[in-house]
A = this chain, B = another copy of it.
Amino acid sequence: LPLQSQEEKKKIEEVKLDIVFIGSGNVAWHLAQAMDLVGHHIIQVISRSDENAMALAMKLGARHTDDLSKTIVNADLYVLCVPDDNIQDVVRDLPELNAGLVHTSGPKSMDILSPKSKDIGIFYPLQTFSKHKEVDMFNVPIMLEASGNAFYAKLFDLADSISNTVLHVTLEDRVKYHLAAVFANNFANHLFYEASSYLKSNNLDFSVLKPLILETAAKIIDLDPEKAQTGPARRGDSETIHKHLELLNNHPRLKELYEALSKGIQAQITDE
């Protein structure tokens, strides 16, 4: 047992990295702090918004700048957390790097990074992050890809130090996971928004729906979503559906969604 502890300790020592974060948005905010927490050293935060960079850097005891030409060049790893559309421009403005460079985007190829490093990869945490909401990173799946085996092993140790679910996922599959995540997260959240704004426009209280929303998510942990389905479309209750559509006559966007989603649920029953 003491031997095991020593081995474990050694492993943790081995994966302590000096890391530069490029970007200071929601993903950088949570990822950098999770890495810091397990003993990695975030040595610099670089961001167009020097204010955001400073706020994150202060939490980490890191340096910060808004100037990519001032990137610290002797780090062990560079983690790019910028919006997908900006990756190319940021890579162009980075200096040549002597260490690995990863981005954290779901849909983008790692090849976009190749101009600035020979070790390139993906470090994609499949989760929704907002600065003001804490996330338990240990339960966030991290999807990895790397240009070579040694660099993959380095990324694996890093991911493994902050999460209990680390997966090798190819670009093709990662894009599909990201697409499914858009349905499960962005689109589901949009339905919560529509429910909230509909109730608000009727002077009713959205908070009454919160236990239902929590249970909607909790159910699919144990039940397949097809088994968890209930409601008027599932039951084929055409009277209620008709009444709802009438109520939505002044909400054309909601009405369109109601029709498309009810049709989907009825097609789902046919699929079964």
Contacts and interface: CB of A to CB of B under 8 A. Distances in A.
Interface of A: 26, 83-85, 107, 126-130, 132-133, 135, 139-141, 165, 167, 173, 175-199, 202, 204, 206, 208-235, 237, 239-240, 243-244, 247-248, 253-254, 256-258, 260-261, 263-265, 267-268, 271
A44 B221 CA distance: 33
A186 B226 contact: no
B177 A204 contact: yes
Copy tally for this chain in the complex stands at: 2
A258 B213 CA distance: 21
A210 to B, nearest CB: 6
22 contacts: A126-B208, A126-B212, A127-B211, A127-B215, A128-B216, A129-B230, A133-B222, A175-B247, A177-B204, A179-B244, A180-B196, A182-B231, A183-B194, A184-B192, A184-B213, A185-B215, A188-B192, A188-B216, A189-B220, A196-B225, A214-B218, A257-B264
Contact of A85 (B128, B224, B239): B239
Given A184-B213, A187-B191, 19 more contacts: A84-B240, A107-B240, A107-B243, A128-B219, A130-B223, A177-B199, A177-B209, A180-B199, A180-B206, A182-B232, A186-B261, A187-B265, A194-B264, A196-B226, A214-B217, A253-B263, A253-B264, A257-B260, A260-B260
Contacts of A133: 218-219, 222-223, 228
Nearest to A203: B173
A201 to B, nearest CB: 10
A187 B221 CA distance: 17
A181 B195 CA distance: 7
